Amino acid sequence: MAEGRNPNSLRKQRKLRRWHRLVALVTSCQLLLWTLSGLYFAFIDIDFVRGHQFKRSSPPTQLDLTHLKPGLISASKIVIQERLAGELIVGVHTEDGLQWLNEQGAPINALSGEQALRLGAERTVIKPDQFEWVDTDIPGSEYRGAPLPLWRLWRADDPDRIAYVDAMSGDVAVVRHDAWRWWDFLWSLHIMSYEDRDTIGTWLLRVFSLLALATAVLGLWLSLHTRARRSSQ
């Protein structure tokens, strides 16, 4: 009966319920964003997001290594590939990073914009006709993680699909399109990393995760306590 209830217990429950509503109000928007972004991640093909469908598969190339400088072959780790038709380049891994050399071991020059356009037409389905030099690492950029410098390639009548070509090796580093940009935007909301969009474990994420946990635990406790109190009446 109501007369037999402990007044202190009732006041404590009312206070806890107010706190529960307040914390739930604070976390509800982020919980909604976590749910919406999670649904997007669950239902879209990650290979499509990464733009693999825009890259052409290159046929096997037979490389002539007879003119390769012997000293390069003895290096601990090298990458040998054809950049332009008939141009053999060697990537040598050093403490300073990856260095690209020609067959004689001399550093190579970066591709020109026109050369990058030709490679973009050969190695992607975008058929680019515009190019732009990229040599600045910008946090949160859509080419982050790709080796600099790059050539940004796109078609004037289709600017949403962009290929980034390594200016030294000629490799297609990444291809970006609207599905990837949506993924990237929702990912930044999901992990609450709004600047570089890659940092997991930001203080915002930790705070809201603890608040969401507190909301769930407190709500469960209040529900069980209310049910137990009613069953005892």
108 inside domain: yes
Same domain, 56 and 43: no
CA atoms of 25 and 29, how far apart (whole Å): 8
Q: Which two tokens stand for residue 76?
A: 């601990």
Domain holding 70, by residue range, is: 52-176
Q: What are phi and psi of 78, to 5 degrees?
A: -135, 160
Q: Directed axis angle between helix 178-191 and helix 7-43, to 10°? A: 160
Per-residue pLDDT of 48-105, as tens digits, reads 999 989 998 765 555 565 666 665 554 557 788 889 988 888 888 777 778 898 888 8
Number of domains comprising the chain: 2
Same domain, 170 and 57: yes
Same domain, 91 and 191: no
Q: What are phi and psi of 221, to 5 degrees?
A: -65, -45
The structure's pTM equals 0.79
Give the list of residues 6+ apart from residue 204 with CB closer than 8 angstroms, or none.
Answer: 192
Q: What is the DSSP letter of 167?
A: T
Same domain, 63 and 161: yes
